[in-house]
Homo-oligomer: A and B are copies of this chain.
Amino acid sequence: MEIDTHYINQIEIIINIFTIANGKIKILLFRRDEDPFKGYWMLPSNLLMTSETIEECANDTIYEFSGLKDMHLFQCDVMSKIDRLPNDRILANSLIGILDEETITLKREKRKITSEWFDIDTIPKTVYDHNDIIENAIKMLKNKIKNNELLNIFYPSDFTLPELQLVYEQVFNKKLDRRNFRKKMINLKIVEDTGDKNIGKNGRPPKLYRFTNKEQNFLDI
């Protein structure tokens, strides 16, 4: 195999890892501890090797940064501005990874790199163009949730309706009526009662629901 050097490209795979905790959508960022951009936050990333697929690279990268595995992954965006990094010409392929909270709780182990989950409405300063990448990923994530494509991955088991309502309120950016929200989710058969309750917290224990396996339902004409 011979390659014309005009066509040599380096590509970094960058992953936006989201989870939902107590109804708040969060993204996992890592602190950079060397200059330039020391103290800034960053998305996990690695250069793609010739011998691996993007999914393999993404999974390895996530594992290396966080110890987490087997995330639901999908394509998000590609950035190719020549000057997106100051010195090298490196393309960026950003992915979205979805983690359910249970998995995170189980795998909470100590890593060398400082990491933190940030609410998606309070993203800190990040290195290079990572703020643009994050902004774009949040947009795609919200759109997918609006189209009922993703919440069953955030919640593989059960959840309460008040928590789910918080998620929708963030995505649609408006307050929803508790009774109407409930009716809608149940009547449209998006969720179903598991019969269990979430005991242990303050106040009346909420019922637990699960997603039915209905296909995504788009805005119908």
Contact = CB atoms under 8 A, between A and B. Distances in A.
A5 B3 CA distance: 11
23 contacts: A1-B87, A1-B89, A5-B50, A6-B49, A6-B50, A7-B49, A8-B50, A9-B9, A9-B10, A9-B11, A9-B48, A11-B91, A50-B89, A51-B89, A53-B80, A54-B78, A54-B91, A75-B78, A143-B147, A147-B218, A176-B221, A181-B221, A184-B221
Contacts of A10: 3, 7-9
Contacts of A87: 1
Given A8-B9, A50-B89, A143-B147, 15 more contacts: A3-B8, A6-B50, A7-B47, A7-B50, A9-B9, A9-B11, A52-B82, A53-B80, A53-B82, A143-B218, A147-B147, A147-B219, A172-B220, A172-B221, A219-B219
Instruction: Give the oligomeric copy count.
Output: 2
A82 B53 CA distance: 6
A17 to B, nearest CB: 18
A108 interface: no
B51 A6 contact: yes
A102 interface: no
Contacts of A176: 221
A82 B51 CA distance: 7
